[in-house]
Amino acid sequence: MGRVRSLAQVYRCFGEVDAARTSPLYERVAVALSESDEALRAIEAAPARKRHPTVILAALHDLALAGRALVLAAAYAAADGDAAAGAAIDTLLRMTGSVVAIAVRRQPRTNDTGRCAVLYPAIAEAARRVGANAVGLIDVGCSAGLNLHVDRVGITYSNGQSLGDPSSPVQLSSAIVGDRPVPARAMPEVVARVGVDLDPVDVSDPDDARWLRACLWPDQPERAARLDAEMALAATAPPLLLRGDAVEVLPHALARVPADALPVVTTTWALSRYPPEGRLRFLHRLDEAAAGRVVAWVSAEGVGVAPTIPTLGDRRASGHSIIGLAVFDRSIPHAEAMGRCWSRGRLPAWLADS
């Protein structure tokens, strides 16, 4: 009973805190699940690490999108919280095995090219400092590799600046914090796009594409439309996706970048999945790679997560992230905090001179 009460608290907190401000639909569904002993027992059929609301709700959404939970799909389409709550419980109880199977097989995904608003100027700055006329992008924790098309989207900042492709079908907006603009230079030609992930997602696979949609909250149609545009853009020039641990796979990824291009490794909230010693091993891999060529690393990670990147005196778990740039030249890193950002890159505050 203690475990059930604890799980109930997790779902209630998710609904009343995490979902409350952005998804009234999921707020209602999560709270309803927290109040149903039968639903909580069904959720407990999943391994402990797969019981979190983001996983179970995505699995239910996946069934709805696949046409296997029609009543739930209709409630989601109508954004009817009460109907969705009842249908979610009913689907979970009737299809517990299917929900658990999806949860076990899949990882929750937060594919959001809003990160491009901080990646684009930082990558362009890395190229400028090295004098590179071409770059090869290597995204660690890439999921579907959407960030690898950072040069192919259009980005408009709140101060009127714009970067990227103004004619792209994917257009992003970003609100600058503070009065310092982002660097306005264009990114050089991208000659390689390589993603590294333990379980990469292929946007050309219908099941994988549906899972990406399932990880979005059903009452956010604008995000779903943007994701569809992002996946369509990625499908026109599919990146190379390498499966495996970044520490082990990184040398193979770097080898895919032509010798006359600057390899730029990007991590956006990916290193937090590693223990501190794993982050240091990642850094060591970059050191090793730089013994033979210059390598740049652009990061957007929580305060103190990215090794060698200054924290600007900020406290850990302070609610924002540090935009970092490290250039490794003959294994000697030159690391700098370029700025801060909030909301997964949608609110950048650029600090570095350029």
Q: Could you report the per-residue pLDDT of 214-267, keeping only the tens digit for each?
A: 999 999 998 899 999 999 999 999 999 999 999 999 999 999 999 999 999 999
pLDDT score of 165 more than 80 = yes
Find all residues with CB under 8 Å of 101, minimum gap 6, and list them. none
User: In which residue are the tokens 């982050």 written?
Assistant: 279
Average pLDDT over every residue of 192-207 = 93
What is the reported pLDDT for 270?
92
By C-alpha distance, which of 341, 255, 269 is closest to 299?
269
pLDDT score of 150 more than 50 = yes
Q: For 104-130, what is each residue's pLDDT tens digit? A: 999 888 766 679 999 999 999 999 999
Average pLDDT over every residue of 42-64 = 97
DSSP code for 16: I
pLDDT score of 1 more than 70 = no
CB 328 within 8 A of CB 286: yes
pLDDT score of 354 more than 60 = no
CB atoms within 10 A of CB 226: 19
Write out the two tokens for 200.
């990469």
By C-alpha distance, which of 192, 330, 183 is closest to 263?
192
Strands 171-174 and 262-268, by their bridges, are unpaired
Distance of CA 292 to the CA centre of its chain: 30
pLDDT score of 142 more than 90 = no
Q: For 29-43, what is each residue's pLDDT tens digit? A: 999 999 999 999 999
CB 323 within 8 A of CB 282: no
Write out the two tokens for 323.
């935009």
Find all residues with CB under 8 Å of 198, minimum gap 6, and list them. 107, 243, 244, 245
User: DSSP 3-state assignment of 304?
Assistant: coil
Kind plus residue range of the DSSP H or E element containing 234: helix 221-236
Compute, in degrees rounded to 10, the torsion defined by CA atoms 302, 159, 148, 305.
-10
Average pLDDT of the chain to the nearest whole number: 93
R_g of the chain computed on alpha carbons: 21
By C-alpha distance, which of 208, 209, 152, 160 is closest to 182?
160
What is the reported pLDDT for 352?
66
User: DSSP 3-state assignment of 276?
Assistant: helix
Q: For 290-341, what is each residue's pLDDT tens digit? A: 888 999 999 999 999 999 999 999 998 888 999 999 999 876 779 999 999 9
What is the reported pLDDT for 4?
53
Strands 295-302 and 321-329, by their bridges, are antiparallel
What is the reported pLDDT for 264?
98
CB 290 within 8 A of CB 296: no
354, burial (CB in 10 Å: exposed 0-12, middle 13-18, buried 19+): middle
Write out the two tokens for 57.
């709700």
What is the reported pLDDT for 255?
94
